[in-house]
Amino acid sequence: MSSPTRKKVVDLSHQLAPTGLSYCAGHPTFTSEPVMSLVGDGSNVSRLTLGSHTGTHLDAPSHFIEGAATISDVDLSSLVAPAVVVDVRRKEFHGTITWDDIAPRAEELNPDVALLLCTGWSQHWGREEYMKSPHLSKEAAQKILERGVRVVGIDVFSVDADCREESGETNAVHRLLLGNGVLIVENLTNVEALLDGSAYTVSLLPLNLEGCDGSPIRAVAWCGGCN
């Protein structure tokens, strides 16, 4: 009897560790400490502290929109989907991802896919350069919205040019997408591995946190026909 074909699974999540992470200013840092041990208690148990937007994470609409859906309300069907991966690795520090960058794949965009933007910026994770990442233009976000996409992922700390929570046009892309029910995944890594021309499915599922504005996730992709 032949062995079943194994899926090629790609980990798209940054590892959470006490050091070497990148954070938006003011966000909680990650800690992990033992509170029970095998020797003393019969099992190992750790206490974790982290923010709802620590590491690779999902933004719920309530992150920026008052009274909008929380992480426990989101439609999980949009978070397990075929991936459309757009290569925008040529962007420089603080570069803008425009609709012209995405337009060649426009015919593939619809409510049934997850759009992933590959900037290659995860190579700077944990360093000062990471916070100088490219960002999505509001015009491009509007075009994505018009094509019915329900989830947008990116391998930088924010789809916007910064992560300050201020009024006006600051975080305009967050407000546009989340305000129309489009979920946002940030701090992806290893997205370059999905640029080999194969057809990948992604899973971007959050923890089931009641009433929360976001959640760390274990983002993965797989290709059933890849070796």
Known catalytic residue: 124? no
Name the active-site residue from 14, 53, 57, 63. 63
Cβ contacts of 174 within 8 Å, gap of 6 or more: 59, 63, 64, 158, 159, 160, 184
Q: How far is it, in rounded angstroms, from Cα 45 to Cα 35?
A: 6
Phi-psi region of 35 (alpha: psi -120 to 50; beta: other; left: phi over 0): alpha
Distance from chain centroid for Cα 226: 23
Classify the C-alpha dihedral 162-168-169-172 as positive or negative: positive
Catalytic residue set: 63
